[in-house]
Structure 1
Amino acid sequence: MAKQPMLKFVTVDRDMPEKRDAGVRKDDFNEIYAEFAKAKAEEQASRCSQCGVPYCQSHCPLHNNIPDWLRLTATGRLKEAYAVSQATNTFPEICGRICPQDRLCEGNCVIEQSGHGTVTIGSVEKYITDTAWEQGWVEALAPSEERSESVGIIGAGPGGLAAADRLRRAGFQVTIYDRYDRAGGLLTYGIPGFKLEKDVVMRRNQLLEDGGVTFKLNCNVGEDISFQDIRDAHEAVIIATGVYKSRDLQGPGAGAEGIVKAIDYLTASNRLNFGDTVPEIESGELNAEGKKVVVIGGGDTAMDCVRTAIRQGAESVKCLYRRDKANMPGSQRETQNAEEEGVEFVWLSAPKGFTGTDKVEGVMVQKMRLGQPDASGRQSPEVIEGADYVEEADLVIKALGFEPEDLPTLWDQPELEVTRWGTVKAQFTTGATDLDGVYAVGDIVRGASLVVWAIKDGRDCADAIIEKFAAQAAVAAE
């Protein structure tokens, strides 16, 4: 009888790739996790129970065929594993690095629920595609036939890039318009290199370009080109701008020098790591070196900021969050990494103002307690009277989340319908808006969300466009 290659979770313990020592990794922006070796990847993949109802798959927004590619990896059929992985995911090596697996696939693993420790799905996913790149299995797009229809995509983030990949494979002519000088959106300028090294993103951009996707960078819609011009140039347009308007803080001293937005801070750091000259870093405006840094917020962006500040050589880094550790929205894994690197978390704390005349000198902090649940079901923070104090700070980074920009006004498109939150109204299944031939995907529809959801939206929208034009061609041929 052939040896059973799977269900080894009873005899094989869960094991993550080696993590670099915090004392070493906090001095650079390289990724903190090493790659699995072949034997280790096969061993960890073999722990999968191959359950009849794979909750890992159903809780993945892309519904990746996780049990299938784990089995193929465990049995040494890695090229087939890559084929299965990339069939449902445009950027598996990126998702393997930055998805919050603890809240999605791994957090719903059946063997995790039974106390055996989840399968390390994200690390195996990363290993599969990184190996595919090394072995030359990842090839540029090569449509079987070219189509005359063209699609314009506004935004070169994960949603726009995923749609471009899908459409180009089907032979459509695709042009991506983006305000930045490099494609990738938050993958390029938002997420630090210690979570996602930039060559991983750049090689994907190059693959799309090699496959015939046209990039028009440094192109700000509404300034360099009008939205109407883009509509006139293409049979369909996809809005994939993401959400970049930072939520602000109120209170005394909120406009003082030294209080900065997370997106500006992270973009400057990432530009420096690309080798760009960044005046805001050189002047110290967006540089934490030697400073007492306070980051306000508890999401993944806040974790990116505190860990970046550590690497820039801050004197101290503290993170203020108005709820406790159990109720923070960011990844627990990222919080642990930050704590290992020397970040101090000040739970149940919220700012009510800032000290300092022209330049910030401190954050006026209100201590909080958790009261009754709010409308979302989470416990609402309540102020503890008389417990205020001042937290010293030379640099304060606001990481309170993002909201959509006012696209109807910026683009002079009052007929582009938005919700009361400012997000574009679109069908979740297709991305179609009420404007003929105009679609929207990702955060500009959902609000600030995960990269994996943007990838799903981009793929679904592209499929809807492909299906629409195929139907039109069929009718024309009758």
Structure 2
Amino acid sequence: MAKQRMLKFVHTQRETPQKRDADQRAQDFSEIYREFSEAKAEEQASRCSQCGVPFCHAHCPLHNNIPDWLRLTAEGRLQEAYEISQATNTFPEICGRICPQDRLCEGNCVIEQSGHGTVTIGAIEKFITDTAWENDWVQPIAPARSRTESVAIIGGGPGGLSAADVLIRAGLKVTVYERHDRAGGLLTYGIPGFKLEKDIVLRRVEQLAKGGVEFVLNCDVGRDITFAEIRARHDAVLIATGVYKTRELRDPGADAAGIVRSIDFLTASNKKGFGDAVPEFDNGTLNAEGKRVLVIGGGDTAMDCVRTSIRQGATSVKCVYRRDRANMPGSQREVHNAEEEGVEFVWLAAPKAFSGNPVNRVTIQKMRLGAPDATGRQSPEPIEGGIYEEEADLVIKALGFEAEPLAQMWGADDLETTRWGTVKADFGTHATSIPGIYAVGDIVRGASLVVWAIRDGREAGAEILRYLDKAGRVAAE
């Protein structure tokens, strides 16, 4: 039966969920993709070849059992498909929405390599878990037993929340210290609603809270509580702060009004979506309405900024990137979505200077790709005489993020960091230089993907359990 249900990629064409019309979706922050019907999800899942060596599984950071839940979906066994999906992924409905599947599971699908078009893994993953929530298959967290040990998690983003899920299910006491007024990190305040609607994130936070996780919000470690105090209160600590320090422009005029950080721009927009009071949005500082917007950068954060600007009512939106389309780090799917919505991309271009205060013009240097750098990517180099100007009322810096100097900020001289400022942690155990202190996600890796933070958090949760079990045995002896 299973064989008859599968291997239909030869006769069944690849389909993705329908997108809302670009003109329509550019007017709001609702997700742009419509839902698969159950019949369509079963049909698309049946295209899986059930290959002997599943490269989709191998190239997923979480090593999700993708062929298994695709087969179960094709057979109409959706609750079982959800249980298999949830077994390796704390937030499958989030990964289904925001993972760059084109670079991970779908990009390595065997039938994609043979020219038949990849299985739409992400859309099916999203469908499975959304169906699970609708049918109350997502069970409340109910630990089999309670333990006395306590773990602190600094940072309520995907890495911290994934670890909290592992630890609370094991019966530990878990406290999450979060600097913002809502948990979720970049899932809540960085990623726009048109990619990830916020109720999707907050219902997972609520699930953890109902399961016993304590959230201490509006708590900035180093200001509202010291790192030493946290260490004294808990048996183990997990650092999952992420990286929020924006890389800066050093060109003349880069300190002018109207040149803003991407994280500030996106956070203001998301807070406004919650109905919060956001003075810098209301006074126009972090609002693109009626402005000529120039976003500098080529990653997914830049894509979030240009598409947010369109929805805020900018008169024009351009994205300036120093390499070409083929060499940009962001998702090609997001670039395509942005182009549909009216964003103009200026490839092989970099800012050289900014004029006006507030800014009104940007001097642009045309670039070309030269010799490869140490990573193998061609390095951009300026074209002699290739100078021109772009008009802009709002310039958004989406140049990537760096680590804050946590050891200095927290007075933790024994917390070892790397030359990039990230926390030095073992990639297997996630242990830092301080016994009982662990670190995960971007604060260790540098700016990376949500799915890697989830993997790190799950692994670190398991390692913390082993550490506490060992400490308990030593104490008993």
Instruction: Provide the TM-score with structure 2 as the length reference.
Output: 0.99
Q: CA deviation at 1:353?
A: 1.0
Q: CA deviation at 1:197?
A: 0.1
Q: CA deviation at 1:409?
A: 1.1
Q: Secondary structure at the match of 1:385?
A: strand
Contact 1:151 1:172 in 2 (8 A): yes
Aligned 1:68-467 pairs, distance under 5 A: 68-356=68-356, 358-467=357-466
Q: CA deviation at 1:97?
A: 0.2
Give, in whole Å, the separation in 2 of the partners of 1:474 and 1:300: 46
Q: CA deviation at 1:242?
A: 0.1
Q: CA deviation at 1:430?
A: 1.4
Contact 2:62 2:455 in 1 (8 A): yes
Gap runs ≥5 in structure 1:
none
Deviation readout 1:266-320 (Å, 9 max, x if unpaired): 0000000011111111100011011000000000000000000000000000000
Give, in whole Å, the separation in 2 of the partners of 1:426 and 1:65: 28
Q: Secondary structure at the match of 2:224?
A: coil
Q: Secondary structure at the match of 2:68?
A: helix
- The amino acid across from 1:129 in the alignment is T
- The amino acid across from 1:54 in the alignment is P
Give, in whole Å, the separation in 2 of the partners of 1:61 and 1:395: 37
- The amino acid across from 1:394 in the alignment is D
Q: CA deviation at 1:139?
A: 1.7
Q: Secondary structure at the match of 2:385?
A: coil
- For these two proteins, the number of residue pairs brought into alignment is 477
Give, in whole Å, the separation in 1 of the partners of 2:194 and 2:15: 20
Give, in whole Å, the separation in 1 of the partners of 2:259 and 2:3: 61
- The amino acid across from 1:257 in the alignment is A
- The amino acid across from 1:461 in the alignment is A
Q: Secondary structure at the match of 1:128?
A: helix
Counterpart for residue 14 of structure 2: 14
Higher mean alpha-carbon deviation, 221-230 vs 406-415, is at 406-415
Is the alpha carbon distance of 1:425 and 1:3 closer, same or farther for their aligned partners in structure 2, counting shifts above 3 Å? closer
- The amino acid across from 1:81 in the alignment is A
Q: Secondary structure at the match of 1:370?
A: strand
Deviation readout 1:167-226 (Å, 9 max, x if unpaired): 000111000001000000000000000000000001000000000000000000000000
Give, in whole Å, the separation in 2 of the partners of 1:2 and 1:471: 44
Gap runs ≥5 in structure 2:
none
Is the alpha carbon distance of 1:2 and 1:111 closer, same or farther for their aligned partners in structure 2, counting shifts above 3 Å? closer
Give, in whole Å, the separation in 1 of the partners of 2:419 and 2:473: 39
Q: Secondary structure at the match of 1:352?
A: strand
Q: Secondary structure at the match of 2:460?
A: helix
Give % identity: 72
Give, in whole Å, the separation in 2 of the partners of 1:476 and 1:368: 63
Instruction: Provide the TM-score with structure 1 as the length reference.
Output: 0.99
Deviation readout 1:36-56 (Å, 9 max, x if unpaired): 100000000000000000000
Give, in whole Å, the separation in 2 of the partners of 1:353 and 1:146: 60
Q: CA deviation at 1:476?
A: 5.2
Contact 1:243 1:444 in 2 (8 A): yes
Note the aligned Cα RMSD (angstroms). Answer: 1.0
Q: Secondary structure at the match of 1:386?
A: strand
Give, in whole Å, the separation in 2 of the partners of 1:411 and 1:243: 15
- The amino acid across from 2:218 in the alignment is N
Give, in whole Å, the separation in 2 of the partners of 1:473 and 1:360: 60
Contact 2:436 2:467 in 1 (8 A): no
Give, in whole Å, the separation in 1 of the partners of 2:467 and 2:180: 31
Contact 1:250 1:352 in 2 (8 A): no
Runs of 4+ residues deviating >3 angstroms: 471-478
Deviation readout 1:306-355 (Å, 9 max, x if unpaired): 00000000000000000000000000000000000000000000001101
Give, in whole Å, the separation in 2 of the partners of 1:338 and 1:132: 31
- The amino acid across from 2:74 in the alignment is A
Q: CA deviation at 1:3?
A: 6.9
Q: Secondary structure at the match of 1:277?
A: coil
Deviation readout 1:60-99 (Å, 9 max, x if unpaired): 0000000000000000110000000000000000000000
Is the alpha carbon distance of 1:124 and 1:476 closer, same or farther for their aligned partners in structure 2, counting shifts above 3 Å? same
Give, in whole Å, the separation in 2 of the partners of 1:252 and 1:428: 40
Q: Secondary structure at the match of 2:368?
A: strand
Q: Secondary structure at the match of 1:73?
A: helix
Is 1:60 matched with 2:60?
yes
- The amino acid across from 1:440 in the alignment is A
